[in-house]
């Protein structure tokens, strides 16, 4: 019998992805740490490096999503039900992008309706969703990112809005069925698919989390909303 | 209202940072250097480095640190979680110190340990300068806000903990949940139920918090409502399978209800969720040994042995239990089973690494010799060598130092060699050593009666049951024959010997030479010379011997 048939291919792929992700994380970190050194001497290269680092970050998110989907399929992914102090969670996400935003001259505002808000969710998972959205938004926005949170009908809403050209129509459509992937659109939407899966895993009674994409009626910028019960 | 953390820092804040003391633990020098560099840039100059858990412990004994930043993976030896557990357990780590775990994992459950040993914060690797800076400020805010609470926690002063925690709950929403937990734990430690129940009811007002469930179960246990505790825990595991502490507590409940099988089931699920917790693995191993589930036992002890290396849980007992469970598995396997050879090699390699690790430890050496010998002899028909002899003699001379478990193994070896007097002498010494310990004394009695391994014991037991049935049916010839078969396997068992004699004597008058049979029975009875007066079979034994003496007179030719 051929021994290769017995290999758990998915597990091996997952292990490889895991290693690649960690190496890539180190590369991104190293590139990132070079930016402040070049900031004054050669601002142009600093901007390019920053973009390089963001791109590495995008790949990294992709790998994290692959791993996450593997664990989802194996039933090994279930959210931790933590009471999170929202201000700190948002702060953690924002802090990761401080230097990118500065170098790329993007203004980032945070508007939290209730600064004392404590809400139940898996902090690592939500951090992942928001970081992924912001990484993409930085690429497509013109000059601004607006993060805001509020409570609506028993849901915590975390919204990220930019002033770019907005989501293409097919992407807005895409999130609706939430179970199908469209490889034709150029973007696989893997990140969004994963985000909506994670959101759905957050459940209270019969209320489930979800995500919603739209474009701002006035500015046309993209709006991402995460709803957590 | 919550304090907003803003960067850049004020002059006062920077002055505070300069007085702070930080320990950085990582096995890679360049990582330590990089973190140290960041801390310097932030304004923290007092930074100590450690490259291993051992170095970290020395540093923590000598200094008070405000922050300990520790990588989860520290190379060979203890990891960051095990270090945390140890320093928390032996009070080397003050609650005033912020313990931060750096992990490379994208999900937290990879590092999830026991609920009582959570780090104060996690940092995902690699992290940027800004992230560290912002966290530093948050950690010191935490330290400042809860300093008095931490002091009370260090002193285990429950009344003070309750007092200080309630101040925090009202003052800083950021640390509210932490303070609530500490207050409830303090009430539980004081065995006060009413106030924490009220608190939990209030906390769960908007939404049920799964962490409250473990406390609710603990309170139910204080109130002797065992079934309520079980229900609460079962339900909470259903709802939140990550609530790892619930598995441990539920398992304890089942143990108290003497439902070992369920207790094992629950522990197994907990181990699946969080396989790196040594105590849980050890409990699972010990429970599985008790339940004769050798496959689960050996799996658990294998984890224990590898996880506990160089930790405070490191002990030869773990290796002994691993070897024992593997050997028992080996005994149960048919010779034709192709897996048997693999298992044999595994036991041998475990024995080898065990004796290497505890070189110079006489009792480990003896244990390994005994098992090495047993394993060799159970798998081949070659002549039994006298390899053991030197060791056995030495062991018998120092019988004082032999544990009951190892004593049992040695008694079996002596017995196989028909050295009955040595068996009795060994058991006698062990009994002297454990005077007053009823359970151990009972066990020693059982060993003396039947110094054969478990598989043999069960075989003999089955034959004994069959023979008793034949005896009841008055097929005495058959029953004598079956009892005799049982005695070939377990020749010193008082019950079986006396059964055999009784059965044999039933048909003695039909024999051509009854005196031969009686004398033969007397020889069997003499095997029980060792019975002491307080043995439960002693009276029966005396009665039967007296009867045999009468027969001897009667049939004397």
Interface of A with B (CB under 8 A): 21-22, 25-26, 28-29, 32-33, 36, 64, 67-68, 71, 77-81, 83, 85, 87-88, 91-92, 95-96, 98-99, 115-116, 118, 120, 124-125, 128, 204
Q: Do both A163 and A138 map to the same domain?
A: yes
Question: What is the structure's pLDDT at B360?
Answer: 87
How many structural domains is chain A composed of?
2
B255 falls in which pLDDT band (50, 70, 90)?
A: very high
Identify which has the larger pLDDT, A148 or B405.
Answer: A148
A190 falls in which pLDDT band (50, 70, 90)?
A: confident
CB contact at 8 A, B53 and B26:
no
| Res. A185: pLDDT tops 50 | no
B259 falls in which pLDDT band (50, 70, 90)?
A: very high
Q: Do both A55 and A119 map to the same domain?
A: no
**pLDDT digit string, tens, across residues B82-139:** 899 889 888 889 999 999 999 876 555 554 544 557 899 988 888 888 899 999 999 9
Question: What is the structure's pLDDT at B383?
Answer: 53
**pLDDT digit string, tens, across residues B70-83:** 999 898 888 898 89
B162 falls in which pLDDT band (50, 70, 90)?
A: very high
| Res. B60: pLDDT tops 50 | yes
Nearest to B126 among A26, A92, A125 (CB): A26
Q: What's the rounded Cα separation, in Å, for the pair A226 and A201? A: 13
**pLDDT digit string, tens, across residues A91-108:** 999 998 988 898 889 999
Q: Which residues contact A146 (CB under 8 A, 6 or more apart)?
A: A108, A109, A111, A159, A160, A161, A162
A5 falls in which pLDDT band (50, 70, 90)?
A: low
Q: Do both A93 and A117 map to the same domain?
A: yes
Q: Do both A26 and A60 map to the same domain?
A: yes
Q: What is the dihedral of CA B287, B293, B299, B300, to 10 degrees?
A: 0
Q: Which helix (H) or strand (E) holds B122?
A: strand B121-124
Give helix A43-73 / helix A190-201 axis angle, nearest 10°.
Answer: 50
Question: What is the structure's pLDDT at A87?
Answer: 95
CB contact at 8 A, B313 and B304:
yes
The closest alpha carbon to B486, from B466, B507, B515, belongs to B466
A4 falls in which pLDDT band (50, 70, 90)?
A: low
Question: What is the structure's pLDDT at B321?
Answer: 94
Q: Is B241 on the interface with A (CB under 8 A)?
A: yes
Q: Is B438 on the interface with A (CB under 8 A)?
A: no
A179: domain range?
Answer: 79-229
Q: Which of A20, A55, A77 is the last residue of a domain?
A: A77
Contact between chains at A96 and B242 (C-beta distance less than 8 A): no
CB contact at 8 A, B220 and B204:
no
How is B147-190 classified by DSSP, letter by letter? HHHHHHHHTT-HHHHHHHHHHHHHH-GGGHHHHHHHHHHHHHHT
Q: Read off the tokens for B105.
A: 């994992």
Q: In what order do the strands lie in the sheet containing B67-71? A: B46-50, B21-25, B67-71, B98-103, B121-124
Residue matched to tokens 């300069």: B18
| Res. B384: pLDDT tops 80 | no
Q: Is the sign of the CA dihedral B455, B285, B379, B360 positive or negative? A: negative
Q: Is B130 on the interface with A (CB under 8 A)?
A: yes
Question: What is the structure's pLDDT at B379?
Answer: 61
Question: pTM of the prediction?
Answer: 0.78
Q: Do both A155 and A100 map to the same domain?
A: yes
Q: Do both A114 and A73 map to the same domain?
A: no
Question: What is the structure's pLDDT at A184?
Answer: 47
User: Which residues in chain B have their CB less than 8 angstroms from residue A32's CB?
Assistant: 128
* Complex ipTM tops 0.95: no
Question: What is the structure's pLDDT at A174?
Answer: 62
**pLDDT digit string, tens, across residues B492-525:** 899 999 999 999 998 888 888 888 899 999 999 9
User: Which residues in chain A have their CB less than 8 angstroms from residue B2's CB?
Assistant: 85, 87, 115-116
Q: What is the dihedral of CA B393, B396, B398, B402, to 10 degrees?
A: 130
Q: Do both A130 and A228 map to the same domain?
A: yes
User: Which residues in chain A have their CB less than 8 angstroms from residue B211's CB?
Assistant: 83
In DSSP terms, A158 is beta-bridged to: A149, A226
Q: What's the rounded Cα separation, in Å, for the pair B419 and B492? A: 12
Question: What is the structure's pLDDT at B386?
Answer: 55
Domain B10-144 has CATH 3.40.50.2300: yes
| Res. B405: pLDDT tops 50 | yes
Question: Mean of the pLDDT values across residues B282-289?
Answer: 95
Question: Mean of the pLDDT values across residues A100-123?
Answer: 92
Question: What is the structure's pLDDT at B254?
Answer: 96
Q: What's the rounded Cα separation, in Å, for the pair B429 and B424? A: 9
Contact between chains at A80 and B125 (C-beta distance less than 8 A): no
In angstroms, the Cα distances linking A36 to A98, B27, B131, B431 are 12, 27, 15, 75
**pLDDT digit string, tens, across residues A15-37:** 888 888 888 888 888 888 888 88
- What percent of chain A has pLDDT above 70? 91
In angstroms, the Cα distances linking B441 to B214, B430, B438, B493, B540 are 39, 9, 5, 17, 21
Question: What is the structure's pLDDT at B308?
Answer: 87
CATH class of B310-454: mainly alpha
Question: What is the structure's pLDDT at A134?
Answer: 94
Identify which has the larger pLDDT, A91 or A8.
Answer: A91
- In chain B, where does the domain assigned CATH 1.25.40 lie? 310-454, 467-555
| Res. B7: pLDDT tops 80 | no
Q: Which of A77, A102, A117 is the last residue of a domain?
A: A77
Q: What's the rounded Cα separation, in Å, for the pair B446 and B220? A: 39
Q: Do both A125 and A157 map to the same domain?
A: yes
| Least confident span in B38-47, B200-209, B237-246, B536-545 | B237-246
At the topology level, CATH places domain B467-555 in 1.25.40
The CATH number of residue A156's host domain is: 3.30.565.10
Cβ count near A86 (within 10 Å): 23
Give the nearest chain A residue to B244 (CA atoms).
Answer: A80
- On average, the pLDDT of chain B sits at 88
Q: Is B75 on the interface with A (CB under 8 A)?
A: no
């Amino acid at each position: 019998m051929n021994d290769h048939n017995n290999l758990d291919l998915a597990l091996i792929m997952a292990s490889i992805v895991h290693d690649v992700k960690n190496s890539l994380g180190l590369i991104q970190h190293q590139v990132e740490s070079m930016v402040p050194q070049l900031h004054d001497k050669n601002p142009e290269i600093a901007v390019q490096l920053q973009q390089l680092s963001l791109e590495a970050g995008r790949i990294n998110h992709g790998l994290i999503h692959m791993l996450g989907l593997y664990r989802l399929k194996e039933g090994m992914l279930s959210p931790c039900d933590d009471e999170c102090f929202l201000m700190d969670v948002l702060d953690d996400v924002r802090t990761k992008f401080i230097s990118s935003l500065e170098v790329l001259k993007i203004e980032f505002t945070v508007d939290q309706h209730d600064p004392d808000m404590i809400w139940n969710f898996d902090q690592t998972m939500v951090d992942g969703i928001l970081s992924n959205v912001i990484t993409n938004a930085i690429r497509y926005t013109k000059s601004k990112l607006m993060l805001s949170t509020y409570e609506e009908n028993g849901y915590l809403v975390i919204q990220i809005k930019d002033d770019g050209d907005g989501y293409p129509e097919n992407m807005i459509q895409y999130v609706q069925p939430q179970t199908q992937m469209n490889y034709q659109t150029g973007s696989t939407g893997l990140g969004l698919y994963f985000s909506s899966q994670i959101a759905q895993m957050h459940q209270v009674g019969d209320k489930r989390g979800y995500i919603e994409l739209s474009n701002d009626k006035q500015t046309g910028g993209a709006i991402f909303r995460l709803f957590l019960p | 209202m919550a304090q907003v953390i803003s960067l850049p820092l004020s002059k006062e804040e920077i002055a505070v940072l300069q007085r702070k003391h930080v320990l950085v633990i990582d096995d890679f020098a360049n990582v330590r250097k990089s973190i140290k560099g960041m801390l310097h840039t932030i304004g923290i100059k007092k930074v100590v480095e450690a490259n291993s858990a051992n170095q970290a412990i020395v540093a923590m004994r000598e200094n008070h640190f405000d922050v300990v930043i520790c990588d989860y993976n520290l190379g060979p030896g203890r990891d960051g979680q095990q270090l945390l557990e140890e320093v928390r357990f032996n009070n080397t780590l003050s609650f005033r110190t912020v313990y931060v775990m750096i992990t490379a994992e994208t999900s937290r459950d990879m590092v999830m340990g026991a609920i009582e040993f959570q780090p104060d914060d996690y940092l995902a690797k690699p992290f940027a300068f800004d992230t560290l800076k912002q966290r530093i400020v948050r950690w010191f805010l935490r330290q400042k806000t809860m300093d008095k609470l931490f002091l009370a926690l260090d002193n285990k002063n429950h009344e003070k903990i309750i007092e200080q925690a309630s101040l925090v709950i009202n003052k800083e929403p950021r640390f509210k949940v932490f303070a609530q937990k500490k207050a409830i734990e303090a009430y539980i430690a004081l065995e006060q139920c009413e106030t924490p129940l009220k608190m939990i009811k209030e906390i769960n007002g908007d939404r049920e918090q799964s962490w409250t469930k473990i406390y609710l179960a603990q309170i139910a246990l204080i109130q002797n409502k065992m079934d309520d505790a079980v229900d609460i825990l079962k339900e909470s595991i259903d709802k939140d399978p990550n609530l790892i502490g619930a598995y441990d507590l539920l398992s304890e409940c089942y143990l108290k209800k003497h439902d070992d099988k369920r207790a094992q089931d629950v522990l197994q699920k907990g181990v699946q969720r969080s396989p790196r917790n040594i105590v849980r693995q050890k409990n699972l191993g010990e429970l599985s040994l008790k339940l004769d589930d050798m496959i689960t036992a050996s799996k658990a002890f294998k984890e224990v042995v590898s996880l506990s290396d160089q930790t405070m849980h490191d002990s030869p007992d773990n290796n002994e239990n691993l070897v024992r469970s593997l050997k028992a598995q080996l005994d149960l396997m048919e010779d034709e089973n192709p897996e048997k050879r693999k298992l044999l090699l595994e036991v041998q390699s475990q024995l080898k690494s065990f004796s290497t690790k505890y070189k110079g430890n006489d009792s480990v050496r003896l244990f390994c010799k005994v098992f090495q010998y047993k394993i060799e002899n159970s798998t081949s028909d070659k002549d039994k060598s006298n390899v053991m002899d030197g060791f056995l003699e030495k062991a018998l001379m120092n019988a004082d130092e032999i544990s009951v478990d190892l004593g049992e193994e040695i008694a079996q070896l002596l017995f196989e060699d028909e050295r009955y007097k040595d068996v009795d002498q060994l058991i006698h010494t062990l009994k002297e050593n454990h005077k007053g310990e009823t359970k151990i004394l009972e066990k020693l009695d059982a060993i003396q009666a039947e110094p054969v391994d478990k598989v043999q014991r069960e075989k003999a037991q089955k034959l004994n049951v069959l023979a008793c049935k034949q005896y009841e049916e008055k097929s005495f010839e058959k029953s004598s024959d079956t009892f005799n078969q049982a005695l070939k396997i377990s020749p010193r068992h008082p019950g079986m010997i006396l059964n055999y004699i009784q059965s044999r004597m039933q048909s003695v008058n039909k024999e051509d030479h009854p005196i031969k049979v009686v004398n033969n029975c007397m020889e069997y009875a003499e095997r029980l010379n060792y019975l002491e007066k307080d043995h439960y079979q002693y009276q029966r034994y005396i009665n039967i011997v007296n009867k045999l003496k009468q027969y001897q007179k009667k049939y004397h030719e």
